[in-house]
Chains A and B, each alone.
Chain A
Amino acid sequence: MYHKYDAVVVGAGGAGMMAALQLVGKSNVAVISKLYPSRSHTGAAQGGICAALGNTEEDHWEWHMFDTVKGGDYLVDQDAAEVLARDAVERIIELEHMGLPFNRTPEGKIDQRRFGGHTRNYGEGPVRRACYAADRTGHMILQTLYQQGIKDNVTFYNEFHVMDLLVNNGRCVGVTAIDIKTGELHTFHSKAVIFATGGYGRAWKVTSNAHACSGDGMAVAYRAGIPLMDMEMYQFHPTGLYRIGILLSEAARGEGGILRNALGERFCERYAPTLKDLAPRDMVSRFISQEIAEGRGAGPDKDYVYLHVDHLGKEVIDSKLPDITDFARTYLHVEPYTEGVPIQPTAHYAMGGIPTDIDGRVIMDEKATPLPGFYAAGEVACVSVHGANRLGTNSLVDLVVFGRRAGQHALNYVQQTDWDTLPANHEERSNSLMSFVKSGSGGGRTENAADIRKELQDRMQAWVSVVRNEENLAKMMSKLAELRERYQKVRVSDTVTKFNTDRLEALELGCLIECAEATTKGALERRESRGAQYRTDYEKRDDVNFLAHTLAYRADNGSVKELRYKPVTITKFQPKERKY
């Protein structure tokens, strides 16, 4: 089926909705979403959204910018970090005006609390910067933006899975997507496309991410010739529920929660004397890994540590941390009022992704050459404001700040640009993907997608997580080559056209494998330790050789063709050693 819109937004989480709200009413816009919008993974964010409002103590956007740059281990593009920290203030006010039910101070202003890596006066100590709605801030942002979408009468195509990005004459001219309900392929012809499709945490075994987070947007752009940037910078959040990875917000530590090892020691004190448990995530995840590696983990396999909030009292727990304590009760049958909650680092967030400039325009190389008409925002994008490690809350700030900027720029673009034609055979790549996963049992199709996915997740967890080295990364590269081969023989057993989620999962697996390979290759070639990339064989940061963004380009068979490097933009803050 054929549709024509000025702009098409793919993804209806925070970034996609924010972009769509800029375009609706002033242009003809549609939003395509794999899920109903209110199911998007933005809704799983818990602790807060930072902005230097200074509602409870002195704060300045420059401090927020500095924390973001330092938190990202200086791989952050500082022009983008400045935009993030400045625009955050207006965006929070805008969200409040839209109706977001923030927690309040005694005077009735938006309340703010502490969060990891956010400091006063360039690192002196923690600052109250995170605006929040209990521990369901992401849920409230998603609900609020979706509500505005309803109010403004945005057109949604729900339960549509993106298949291909259409490019003609050097311009982006649309996308294709399958309607999951009917199994039919749709072509959306447009002047602008905005990708806001989220991350790919499902490449790992223990993850906080939804099943839907399978790197679709990244893989689709990558297949269309766009490089993926800094994919090796993948964040492990320190406090995932043991074994299953469900997120327990940093807000637990922001409110005074502490981590203890099997001996009952508050081990973060030893590693980060100033910020302790509130050191940035890459560091706390490493502290936990080290405690476990040195035999101080808890449990029969000594492979977890405890998050304690029991000393905070029932009232604080119930009013500020209700959801996450409920998770501990529901999934581990542990009572946070009285005991520590078993936790381990969990695959959480892609700092890397589709490279963009500060207006969300997708760029194609180290010279920042844009692909006109193509935009990306949110986790799928890499602006880069998170560099080598994202600070807590900055993902939500990123969504609203850069989702809006992408939408505004795209609006301007579609108003000034004429239509271009669709490329010849614009359904070809989509149809070949579809027929690939449509085949039944014939033709040597012997592989089960679930087996391949499990092996991918297990190996990524073992070899490409918090602690890395050459040997394991090289082994992962061989494993990925093998999995890619086996994926060619995947058999989809469900033959029904309507709501064929068996086929959908096979398509998602193809995206995960490609994202995982860009990640592993980037990590292998980055012979240094920086932020989330910690290499035991190269323990120091190397600004001479690696103060640069990795750009991974795809080969026709889905492997990485080449890596290139793009310089980091440095404006206010020269790289320094990172201590907390």
Chain B
Amino acid sequence: MAVQVTVKILRFDPEKDKKAHFETYEVEADPLDRILDVMNTIKWYKDGSLTFRRSCAHGVCGSDAMRINGRNRLACKVLVKDVGGDIGKKIQIEPMLGFKILRDLVVDMEPFFDKYKSVKPYLINYEPASASSERYQSAEDREIFDETTKCILCGACSGSCPPYWASSDFIGPAAIVQAHRFIFDSRDQGAAERLEILGQGEGVFRCRTVYNCTDACPRDIPITKAIEQIRRVMLYNRS
């Protein structure tokens, strides 16, 4: 059952525009369509120049994080009916804050990935492992960092974080989540190196505990809690 949907999208063409501006589109959509489907309908049938990233279309690749009605969401994980698009509410779409706009909804992810890389996001273990066997880990130890393994590096958390908007040097919640994933892995021996990085001025203590990141995460990672756990390890050397 198709309905008429009104979508207002912030547009920016780096070759022509000095400033971003809104354009409004009226399209037919099914209430169960994803916002990404609606954007594809616009791109494919109304305006081929509308530019955004997308790939998996079901919330696991992290390409299409953007600001939908003022909140960072994956366009493929929000349905038209979730935001009342089917009952006449206007849907507003903008690029994430805290990132440089390259074109329309496409933002520059390079600084974001540089921060990610800075926390040494890989297992560090200085002891050689047996070639024929896995390193053992109890189910309980595995559970401790389960949540932070879910991160898809979409940037929705960092792009919703006021300190991240305010300081281009702040490492941001996504990088902290990635650090958490290793710091609390019983097989890892790099915690001290990472805590050193995270303990600096632009590390975990920049967080103001506003929970925007937790609210924005499309993978339901309790990000603020993860940041808090790292701070507790630094302050009290316990989790």
Contacts and interface: CB of A to CB of B under 8 A. Distances in A.
Contacts of B120: 151
Contact of B48 (A139, A492, A497, A498): A492
Contacts of B59: 327, 330
Given A210-B55, A330-B77, A99 B142 contact: no
Contacts of B52: 501
B121 A109 contact: no
B94 to A, nearest CB: 17
A496 B49 CA distance: 8
A422 B139 CA distance: 54
A453 B121 CA distance: 39
Given A36-B113, A96-B135, A108-B137, A41 B123 contact: no
A150 interface: yes
A502 B156 CA distance: 25
Q: Which of A103, A133, A331 gathers most chain B CB within 10 Å?
A: A331
B126 interface: no
Nearest to A103: B142
A553 to B, nearest CB: 31
A155 interface: no
Given A38-B153, A99-B187, A331-B79, A448 B136 contact: no
A97 B60 contact: no
Interface string A84-116: 000000001100111101111111111000000
A497 B15 contact: yes
A245 to B, nearest CB: 9
A490 B43 CA distance: 15
Given A38-B153, A496-B103, A498-B102, A97 B129 contact: yes
Interface in A329-349: 330-333
A445 B51 CA distance: 22
Q: Which of A101, A448, A450, A493 gathers most chain B CB within 10 Å?
A: A101
B89 interface: no
Contacts of B55: 35, 39, 41, 210-212
Nearest to A159: B53
Interface string B90-106: 00000000000011001
A499 B102 contact: yes
A494 B121 contact: no
A495 B47 CA distance: 12
B185 interface: yes
B48 A493 contact: yes
Contacts of A499: 51, 102-103, 106
Given A133-B149, A150-B117, A496-B49, A327 B134 contact: no
B132 interface: yes
A504 to B, nearest CB: 10
A510 to B, nearest CB: 16
Given A44-B60, A147-B123, A210-B55, A498 B103 contact: yes
B142 A93 contact: no
15 contacts: A39-B63, A40-B61, A99-B185, A136-B150, A139-B152, A147-B122, A181-B102, A211-B55, A327-B59, A330-B77, A449-B44, A493-B48, A498-B14, A498-B15, A502-B49
